[in-house]
Structure 1
Amino acid sequence: AKMSKSKGNVVSPEDIMARYGADTSRLFILFAAPPERDLEWSDQGVEGCYRFLQRVWRLVNAVADEVKDAPAVPTKTTGVNLEMRRLAHRTVYRVTRDIEERFGFNTAISAIMELVNGMYQFIDRVPPVDRDPAVTKEAIEKLLLLLAPFAPFIAEELWERTGHAESIHKQPWPAYEEALLQEEHVTIVVQINGRVRDRMVVPADLAPEDMQQAVLEQPRVQKLIAGKKIVKIVPVPKKLVNIVVR
């Protein structure tokens, strides 16, 4: 519910800080609503922010030693390591845009949460032998630098634990590489007469005519259009292919 003195449901930031700490309080206030809207109090929201920071704490501590000793430049630049780098750089781009252009602190924090989820998948599912320590280091550093304005105390502590002597708050804002913002593959929708019939994964740079051919070669699509006349095919790059039949 919206906080209001007349309704007697005002929750003091000091009360939140006493129970959850300053970082959780700050994160919740910035995440709960965009700047132009009233803050709606939510116990679940505060708990969620607290759990998120706990996840960040566990994540960074789990790889702290790996990150400390990691080289600066990745040597494994394909497969899961490349996808991890893409996610980290896309997150920097999203957070930068949300803060600078939109003052969208809530959406910026949401993007950081997605990065944490992706990093857990990378660390939990990829064997250490297949994981490039430099990629882990880069992702962790970008995560902490992005998190620092929203949760300055935990970011500072984890920055130190990963081998940095100088304060995180003296570091430049993280950069992103334009080349890493592009996805290698995308999921496109297959429509027949405007109705969604299937989905398929294709290279992101696939030409429209090749998209069309790839869709027509799908056994499911062939079955659905069997015995019908194709009137036209409309490919929309990176999004969909619509087959019009009668």
Structure 2
Amino acid sequence: MFITLVSFSQIKEKDTLPINIDDYVFVKPGDTLIVNLNEFSLLPKHKFKSKNDIRYYLWFRRKVFKAYPYAQLASQRLDSLNARLEKIKSKRKRKKYTKLIQTYIEGEFTDQIKKMTNTEGRVLIKLIHRQTGKTAFQNIKVLRSGWKAFWYNTTANVFKLSLKTEYHPELENEDFLIEDILQRAFQDDKLKPQKTKLIFDFAKIISENKSNVNVEEYKIMFAKIRKKKKNKKKN
């Protein structure tokens, strides 16, 4: 009798608990239910031809991971600089402020950039275009006084590459690989996403490529690097 009364009181207590109507959705027969979901993209599984292809892809991914944060930072600094310059009317003050930003950025990551390899430098120049919407050369042209020394000294002279290089993942295999690496890293929370200022549909691009990863050019590049290292050891 006692057990029965206790069970009944527990059932009664559950039945009288407050119900939050927001936790439920009532749908009548024939109604249409619309649920808004956060946007996401599905990336197909890679199709590598061999284990060596995987090895070279991972090697190139390390290069992208190293270069991307600097391009991301450059974009943030440029946005802040441009926003500030719009509020400064005096040419003298604009020039002075630009030089201050230049000095700050040089101290922030110039030494790290100088330690980059040629491949990392090339990727960085492309990512500068991706993140800022302008090539490194165009950025210099717009902000000559402040960024000329920075980019020419730390990028062109170090890597001996073209600052006019653009980023076209829909046309260039290397750029496609870079974008593929970035998108997968964003989804896996390995890199902090920053929206590109360029216009391209990567979902369409990747569907046309059918997830085949072409790493032939990097095999040649990687072989040359290994050969140089062996020669240095011999010497």
- Into which bin does the TM-score normalised by the smaller protein fall? under 0.3
The structure where strand makes up a greater share of residues is: 1
Higher relative contact order (CA 8 A, sep 6+): 2
| TM score, norm. by length of structure 1 | 0.27
Please tell me whether Structure 1 or Structure 2 has the larger radius of gyration of its CA atoms: 2
